[in-house]
Structure 1
Amino acid sequence: MGVPDGMRAGDADRQAVADKLRASLDEGRLDLHEYDERLQQAYAAKTYGDLDRLLADLPGTVPTERAQVVPVQPAQPPEVVPDATRRWLAETWDGYFGVVAVCVAIWAVIGIMVGDIMYFWPGWVAGPWGAVLLVTTVNGLVTGEPQKWAAKQARKKAAKIEKRARKQGEREREASEGAD
């Protein structure tokens, strides 16, 4: 039984489509540009219909009207499955808190050394930077930036794995040529 096109897809479903797209890239059915576009669309997809359309023209998949994408059970418990929004927010705000903490620590040490409470200059670092990050965060959440970021991270990881496999293949080929 097919899944209705309008039903909401989950992260595991998006990953399953990303895996199928990767296989199609490896088979030469998609070029790198098409793969990149479809991968971004896969991670931004909201429904099974959105995911189905990404695979409709690829062999080995069922036409969209028969909804080839079926719900996938996550391999990990839901609380362990990485959340793209949470990870994106952590990366976006990562440096801010460390830099502000260092500035406040320097201000405090100087205040202790001088023996007087000075003007709180770290506010000039924290305030404007925090305001820019806040606007960036709100804008990013509205435009779906976490999903785009997750897709980019997945592409980087896939490229890294592919590069490692290619190097391993070259080493094995050199070793076999050296043995001949």
Structure 2
Amino acid sequence: MAPGPEMRASDGDRDKIAGVLREHYAQGRLNSEEFDERLEQLYSSKTYGELARLTSDLPDVDLRRLPETSPEPSDWRMKGRRTQRRGVAAMWATWATASGVNWAIWLILGVTDGFDFPYPWPLWVMGPWGVVLLLTTFVTGVSDKSNR
């Protein structure tokens, strides 16, 4: 059953129309004022008829055959960067925890041996691992402010 003009539209339907309007704006069929005005009307629209009026003067718009919208490519990149930053932060947290545990063991050994502290072997644990993490952080560009 095809939806009638008085049938209520969903958020997904409005998102599809927003994608169509963006495409027509990108192709130059709408100027920025028209685009902004139609977007305002779009998000206050309640029925299929109101949605159809927004695109009635634009070519090739069939509301029933519109593809599902997906996030903009820049949205995917931003999500990937956030995930990458969280991953690098988790690696640094793991490094800090392991280093802290090693230094605590070293300290306990030194104190229990009458303050005769052994060779600072935790440096061999945290040094190479820290260098690898540092290189990973800078090579992936996670610390670069232009990625945020």
TM-score in terms of structure 1 length: 0.35
Q: Larger relative contact order (C-alpha < 8 A, sep ≥ 6)? A: 1
Q: What TM-score do you get using the length of structure 2 for normalisation?
A: 0.42
Rg larger in structure: 2
